[in-house]
Amino acid sequence: MAKKFTISDEKRQDIIAAADALEAEGQKVTIKSVIQFMGGGSFEYVSPVLRDRRQARKPVYTIPSELPDALVEKVGQLVKQAGAELWAASTQLADEKIAEVQGQTESDKNASEQQLTELESRYWQLFHETKALSTEKEQIEQLVKRQAEDLRIKDQRLFALQDKLEASSERLLASEVTVKELKQDYQALNERYYQEKELTEETIERQAEDITVLQLSNAEAQQWLQTKIEAFDEERHGFENKQRKQETVIAGLESRINDRSTQLDLLTQKNRQQAERIESLVKTETELKTALGRIRELAIETGELKQENKRLYVENAELKAQLTFSHQQISTLEKTEPE
């Protein structure tokens, strides 16, 4: 049995009036045409009213009482047969229409489910891409932090080497000043030595002349001269020893200066290497800035993907709503299908 719906008399009269108007205009009276004519309506309310209208408009055959019973029975059978055939044809037509609507609804349902599946697949694809981008972003941030820390440590080492280089340069300058002073002292001592040597020679000459003048004996003069010569030689040896010591000190200082120069060259080379490392670090810093720019771009793309994800989620909800509505229509058609 078809489900009975409660409808007001006023609404029923409106539906019947719409059907009569369509029929008067020569149009076919169907549920769809009545709903369109009324400007709205529900299938489950219009359908039973039209069915009752058709039942009420069926012709009623009256059989005169004076006819023979056999004829009356025969006519009654024919009427029943015609009514049954008409009902069967109407039922078949309604079944075909319902099957057509159900097939179309099932097709829409399958299309909606297919679209929903594609949207869900796209959603999870975007979800995994977003997760991968987040992981890549975290890895790049960790790399940036490590490289920044390495750069800071290298800067500290460079500053320490620069301090050592400055200290070595100051000590080298002090050593050069000391060597210069020692050379000046050596030159002064050397000049003094030659001056004293000249004075001694002059003194010897004068004393020799004095000896000649005083007519000292040859033995005494030789002895006195030998004493003076020995004293002079001793003094000369003292100057020579002192000179050798000064030369040894100067040679040591020159060796130290050479060592300092070698160390200075090494420090200069290290400084040059550190400068090259700094340039490399600056280049690395530029690359890090580029990486940070890429991170920002990835963050923007992630935001766009999230927006796309939200939009797909809304479309998914709309498709689910459409699918639910289609299921409701199918359920309604199944409920209104005559048994």
Tell whether the model's pLDDT for residue 293 goes beyond 80: yes
pLDDT mean over 138-161: 82
Phi, psi of 135 (to 5 degrees): -65, -45
The residue with tokens 């300058």 is 173
Between CA 186 and CA 193, with CA 190 as vertex, the angle to 5 degrees is: 140
Q: What is the pLDDT of residue 50?
A: 92
Residues counted in the chain: 339
Tokens of 328: 């409701």
What's the confidence (pLDDT) of residue 177?
77
DSSP single-letter state for residue 29: -
Q: Is the pLDDT of residue 33 over 90?
A: yes
Closest C-alpha among 281, 12, 269, 319 to residue 152: 281
Map out the domains of the chain as residue ranges: 1-57, 127-322
Q: For the ranges 42-51, 101-110, 130-139, 162-171, which has the lowest average pLDDT? A: 101-110
pLDDT the model gives residue 5: 60
According to CATH, the topology of domain 127-322 is Helix Hairpins (1.10.287)
Mean pLDDT of 249-260: 80
> Is the per-residue pLDDT at 320 higher than 70?
yes
Q: Which pLDDT band, with edges at 50, 70 and 90, does 2 fall under?
A: very low
pLDDT one-digit tens code per residue, 122-131: 766 777 787 7
Please report, rounded to a whole number, the percentage of residues in the chain having pLDDT higher than 70: 79
Average pLDDT score over residue span 114-136: 73
Q: Cα(281)–Cα(154) distance, rounded to whole angstroms?
A: 9
Q: How far apart are CA 5 and CA 44, in angstroms?
A: 7
Which residues contact residue 278 at a Cβ distance below 8 angstroms, ignoring those fewer than 6 apart? Answer: 154, 158
CA distance 154 to 297: 30
Q: How much is the mean pLDDT over the chain? A: 78
Sign of the four-CA dihedral 189, 192, 198, 200: negative
Give 120's pLDDT tier (boundaries 50, 70, 90). low
- Give the distance from CA 305 to its chain's centroid: 13
Instruction: Summarize the confidence of residues 207-236 as an average pLDDT.
Output: 70
On the question of pLDDT at 221 being above 80, the answer is: no
Highest mean pLDDT among 23-27, 107-111, 283-287, 297-301: 23-27
Give percent of the chain with pLDDT exceeding 90: 9
Token pair 């004393």: residue: 207
Angle at 51 between CA 45 and CA 52, to 5 degrees: 95
State the pLDDT confidence band at 15, using cuts at 50, 70 and 90.
very high
The answer, yes or no, to whether residue 275 has pLDDT greater than 90, is: no
How many helices (H) and strands (E) are present in the chain, helices listed first? 5, 0
pLDDT for 278: 74
Cα dist from 33 to 45, 92, 195, whole Å? 14, 20, 144
User: What was the pLDDT predicted at 210?
Assistant: 66
Question: For position 17, what pLDDT does the model report?
Answer: 93
Model pLDDT, residue 31: 92
Q: Do the beta carbons of residue 5 and residue 44 sit within 8 Å?
A: yes
